[in-house]
Structure 1
């Protein structure tokens, strides 16, 4: 029997692996263009310049996250949360549901 690897999420444009299904913390987030997932880790990405943004849950310092292969904007990384109740997001990644596809499911 063939070895089955981990379930992955990939960039919808170039199929670059960007995160593991097991790294999903929540599926109830909102991105720029609709639903988004909060991940504990992301891979094969580039992280942009930090900037402060007012999001639905208050002021955060975030950095855009792009596919490491094709450069497509996939979401953002939470660098800093100013509200104590939002601190759990620090260092985590938002990937837009419309920008990622499942692989190896």
Structure 2
């Protein structure tokens, strides 16, 4: 059963990477090697989080699954948001500057 989970995670990983590459091409964004390395690290952390939780559930270790989800899921979501905000988004900071100028006009 664990092999099936790893196959599903691998398939999702391939779809994610291909989608990210296509998104970068469509939006004229260049993803350098270090950005790909950070994305790969984030994907590995996310995959390990899911694998830990599902393996713990499969072994009837409910406490471990709950503790793992409390620790790993927020870590994955927050790091993904930071990765998007500061690495992949080329317009970093423009939204906050626009909000300040609109607030000053009123």
TMscore range, shorter length = under 0.3
Structure having the higher helix fraction is 2
Give the structure with the larger strand fraction. Answer: 1
Relative to the length of structure 1, the TM-score reads 0.24
Query: TM-score, length-normalised on structure 2?
Result: 0.24
